[in-house]
Amino acid sequence: MSADLASSSRPPRVAVYGASGLAGASLCRALAASGMQVHLVGRDRSKLEAAAATLPPGAAYEISVAAVEDRAKLVAAFVGARVVVNAAGPFASVGDAVVTSAIAAGCHYLDLCGEQAVLRHVFERCDAAARHAEVAVVPGAGFAVAMGDLLAATAAARLLEHHDDGPTVRHIAGKRLTSAEPLAISVAYLFDDLTLSAGAQASVFANLHAPMVVWRRDRWDTERAGRRARSFNPGPPPADDAIAPRRAPTADPAPPQSRPPGADAHGSAISPAGVAASYEREAFSLGGGDNLTIPRHIAATSVDTFLSLSRRPQVHQALRLAAMAASLLPAAAASLLVPSPPDPSAYAATRFAVVAAAEHPFDVRYSVAHGRDLYATSTVITCRLALALARRPQGPCGVLAPAEIVRAPSFLAELARDRVIALR
């Protein structure tokens, strides 16, 4: 343990499970740089010590060894922490033990999970326990869910002309956005040169066989991944040396029609007004965690998540067919796929755009974020959500979406101000 922990006036402690992995170690460094005490928790002491050696000089930290199979030891490791962050995957294997132990220890909880089946389990099974413990449980607090959730909240607020004034961190529960007209929410994750860690690859493999869930008229329905496709237009990417404008997002001008030009037999195009068609990308439907979080704060008629991994039509179509076939695989098939650790320098090459559209029958609003380096971006998002929970005096409890603990427009504007993302 660092000597700093003996201080009588200590900052809040954040425990990170899986602290020796790529995402966990990066998050620990960010938390320590933000002034938090960091508690590195995992299975292997030598790896945890190596991760601790990368913390900023003078960082307050401690190390605990605890496996998910030993729940008593896991709870003991979390006691005293204000927030627990689970950065270890595959979440289908370790997620339940970590979230239930965090609740038992009286801690707020976040994770980086993007596995839809795991998120659904947390929402359905952990809410009562979290409310009883008066803690907030926020699954999907990394890039893959939080970004789409926050952008969707922003787009819906623009469409419904809803002004949610107040501090970025919510101290009381926000109002669920409702509409007298049918309201459709679509979120698309568009990538170029995507590189995934071995842990993220394992999570994808483990999730291949799970049925995809979509939101339809106040209930979750199942659907095969890749069944639908549509076009999205994020506009031009920002320059590498200026990843985000230093300004808050502004309202989109209303397009002249409910469905922008470019619709085809597979679906309709999503193209903010004034954006050149050359940036249009075809994306296929996929079971994102956003389908579960967004209906908590937006009374939408439908919620769908889409994915594009390539600009080349042939490659995109091949990936779409692979996604459709993957849903037919048995669960045991995932064990045959071996993750391949990438070159660490490859992570920074990833470019992304996330488009959220909130649509009425005759109107639509968008919120778009551009960025690069998926893991660096995810670290900042998770760190700031953890800080929000660690420092808030009070706030909503239970299992919550990211947009239920922070005000989405101001949270995203702060990311843009600090050049983490570019907003439009």
User: pLDDT of 270-285, one tens digit each?
Assistant: 556 556 557 899 998 8
Lowest mean pLDDT among 93-97, 249-253, 358-362, 406-410: 249-253
- Long-range contacts (CB closer than 8 Å, 24 or more residues apart) made by 312-319: 313/282, 316/282, 316/284, 319/284
In percent, how much of the chain has pLDDT > 90?
Answer: 64
Lowest mean pLDDT among 92-106, 138-152, 209-223, 346-360: 209-223
The confidence band for 253, taking pLDDT boundaries of 50, 70 and 90, is very low
221 close to 213: Cβ distance less than 8 angstroms = yes
Check: pTM over 0.85? Answer yes or no. yes
Of 193 and 97, more confident: 97
Tokens of 195: 């590189």
Quote the CA–CA distance of 371 and 325 in Å, as a whole number. Answer: 30
pLDDT at 241: 64
User: Mean pLDDT over all residues of the chain?
Assistant: 85
Q: Determine how β-strand 422-423 pairs with β-strand 363-372.
A: antiparallel
pLDDT at 3: 38
Tokens of 73: 């030891």
In percent, how much of the chain has pLDDT > 70?
Answer: 79
Element (H, E) at 100: helix 91-104
What are the sequence ranges of the domains in the chain?
3-138, 144-374
Say if residue 5's pLDDT is above 60: no
Say if residue 195's pLDDT is above 50: yes
Mean pLDDT of 177-199: 89
In CATH terms, the fold of domain 3-138 is Rossmann fold (3.40.50)
Say if residue 247's pLDDT is above 50: no
DSSP letter (8 states) at residue 139:
S
Say if residue 242's pLDDT is above 90: no
Mean pLDDT of 400-413: 98
pLDDT at 249: 30
Which of 43, 101, 109 has its CA nearest to residue 72?
101
Say if residue 34's pLDDT is above 50: yes
pLDDT at 344: 72
Quote the CA–CA distance of 147 and 252 in Å, as a whole number. Answer: 19
Mean pLDDT of 148-171: 96
pLDDT at 314: 61
Quote the CA–CA distance of 152 and 147 in Å, as a whole number. Answer: 8
Say if residue 90's pLDDT is above 90: no
CB-based burial, 292-324: b 16+ in 10 Å, e otherwise = bbbbbbbebbbbbbbbbbbeeeeebeebbeebe
Residues 286-321 have pLDDT tens digits of: 888 999 999 999 999 999 999 998 776 766 666 666
- List of residues 6+ apart from 116 with CB closer than 8 A: 207, 210, 212, 213, 287, 288, 289, 291, 292
Between the CA of residue 422 and those of 310, 349, 351, 358, what are the distances in Å?
21, 17, 12, 19
Mean pLDDT of 172-190: 95
Tokens of 312: 């080349």
135 close to 101: Cβ distance less than 8 angstroms = no
Cβ atoms within 10 A of the Cβ of 141, count? Answer: 31
144-374 sits in which CATH class? alpha beta
365 close to 357: Cβ distance less than 8 angstroms = yes
Choose the most confident range, by mean pLDDT, from 107-121, 208-222, 276-290.
107-121
Quote the CA–CA distance of 273 and 112 in Å, as a whole number. Answer: 33
In sequence order, the β-bridge partners of residue 42 are: 65
Of 333 and 344, more confident: 344
Mean pLDDT of 246-256: 32
CA-CA-CA-CA dihedral for 388, 200, 229, 158, to nearest 10: 10
Which of 370, 414, 368 has its CA nearest to residue 240?
370
